[in-house]
Amino acid sequence: MKIALAQQNYHIGNFEENLRKIEQGIAAAQASGADLVVFSELCICGYPPRDFLEFNDFIQQCESAIDRLKAKTATIGVIVGAPARNPVKEGKDLFNAAWLLYEGRVQGIAHKTLLPTYDVFDEYRYFEPAYEWNVISFKGKRIALTVCEDLWNFGDNPLYRSTPMDELIKQRPDLMINISASPFDYDHDDDRKEVLRANALRYGLPLVYCNTVGSQTEIVFDGGSLVMDHQGAILEEMKYFEEDLLLTDLEDAIAAAGDRQPLPADGARAEASDKETRVSKVSDPAAVIGYMIEESNIARIHKALLLGIADYFKKMGFEQAIIGSSGGIDSAVTIALACEALGPENVRAIMMPSEYSTDHSVNDAVQLSGNLSNPYDIISIRQVYNTLLNALKPVFNELPFGIAEENLQSRSRGNLLMAIANKFGYILLNTSNKSELATGYGTLYGDMAGGLSVLGDTYKMQVYALARYINRHKEIIPPHIIEKPPSAELRPGQKDSDSLPDYSLLDMVLYQYIERRQGPKEIIAMGIDEALVARIIRLVNTNEYKRNQFCPIIRVSSKAFGVGRRMPIVAKYLS
């Protein structure tokens, strides 16, 4: 059987554009001689549709799209993802479903059983889990058709009570097909391949896995669709962070699986684990930073951020970005990424020196824009800042200079950036990093302003690694920007180290607390100072109110701030 995999980038709710892509994929698959073409999870409407699923009109448009696609299936089978209505009154009104269309009609529907409701996923809010499981026959082959999470119930502490493939294998399928919308994080690809290989070994079947690609606001999907044989060997692998089409012939793989010897679930998982898991990689705190800035991880983060920026602008209908250019590492990396994603002519840098800004900061920022060939302006905030101080003088009542005066500079810059953005139709890209957002080292309505956060899920040490990676072929970011001590330059001689621990130590603690959900006792037991751990965790928890007002963050880690990390603002725990 010849199967085509169509790895495509969809736009949530853009039914006409999604259908155009799917129809193009069908035509290309037909031209290549495919018997069946496979698309990804909820490709009809885009993933994740979230509360759009609560609108009947949205579901009707999904159904109309399915009807339109039936006409394209006279000679080729088509597997697509779309919601399906639940005819039973009890339970949710919808299923997350994989549809097999052929010869102008629906040949079979597989409902998703395992509905992730953690991190960025909220599927049980909308969907009913499957309550029956049946293989689907197509051209003499019996297909075990599943959706994304349905293959992920492995491990010592499985999240779900049942596994749909345990039911489907009883009906003696010839192969597994899984349609997916599996998001990127910088070490998720290893986990994903391990889980898929464990399934192939467990059930002794070849596996066709079609993942989506593209960015949907904060969530990046990296593609990497693949085909495995019944022994877990990768036969074909598709591109990452790009659309792709693959034709594979599984006749030999299906025949070879005829004498399969499935493994027990634990044995399959153990055999699939041919490398250390993510948790074991970083259990030694001294190795955390090295792991986080590993070049292979930084390379993937770089691609994800470029895709996140490009898709956000394209799907929102914007073309140009504006960025505050301070001459610091965060704004430099943000500008460089934006220029690569959007073209330098579409990235406008605004330098806004104050009386506390050093000459080298402006010079570094000018040199950066010169290297990138992007337009820039220099607008001093001194007059604006002093006017605000004079207006506030009667209220401030000659109290000593402090945080209010520092933040007033940042808010002056935020106002100028947003005014220019409004005037010319730009999107303001925020430059805050994850270390700053975690500890509250930022000013609401000032340097925390923006329509999209580029670096909000990358720790400071990863930002430095990104800068070095951007410079891997030639000097783009001036070396002085990378080498100088970071500073907000809101008071004379200010450095980040005045307010925060050294970033290598800070990021180590933050990673253990945020990504790995380790408590203070566990982190202290790793040999880190007790008072320092308590201070850092308290900063994280007491600044939740700031992050709650922040813009969307491009997600590149396993636990990003935003929709994937839901913490109460008014709380006492560890505060």
Asked if residue 25 lies in contact with residue 230, where contact means CB atoms within 8 angstroms, the answer is no
Given 21, 41, 43, 460, which residue is catalytic?
41
45 is catalytic: no
- Contact residues for 375 (Cβ-Cβ < 8 A; gap 6+): 345, 347, 348, 349, 369
Nearest in space to 354 (alpha carbons), one of 327, 333, 393 = 327
Asked if residue 86 lies in contact with residue 92, where contact means CB atoms within 8 angstroms, the answer is yes
Beta pairing partners, 228:
207, 234
Residue with tokens 């792991």: 291
Residue 97, classed as helix, strand or coil, is strand
Angle among Cα 568, 571, 575 to the nearest 5 degrees reads 115
Strands 452-453, 213-216: pairing kind:
unpaired
339 is catalytic: no
Alpha carbon distance 502, 486 (integer Å) = 11
Q: Is 525 left (phi over 0), alpha (psi -120 to 50) or beta?
A: alpha
Nearest in space to 138 (alpha carbons), one of 167, 190, 174, 110 = 174
Given 21, 72, 112, 434, which residue is catalytic?
112
**Strand ranges in 275-426 using DSSP code E only, listed in sequence order:** 321-324, 347-351, 376-378
Structure tokens at 321: 């970005």
**Identity of residue 18:** N
239 is catalytic: no
Asked if residue 123 lies in contact with residue 154, where contact means CB atoms within 8 angstroms, the answer is no
Given 43, 45, 62, 148, which residue is catalytic?
148
HEC secondary structure over 282-323: CCCHHHHHHHHCCHHHHHHHHHHHHHHHHHHHHHHCCCCEEE
Instruction: Give me the active site residues, please.
Output: 41, 112, 148
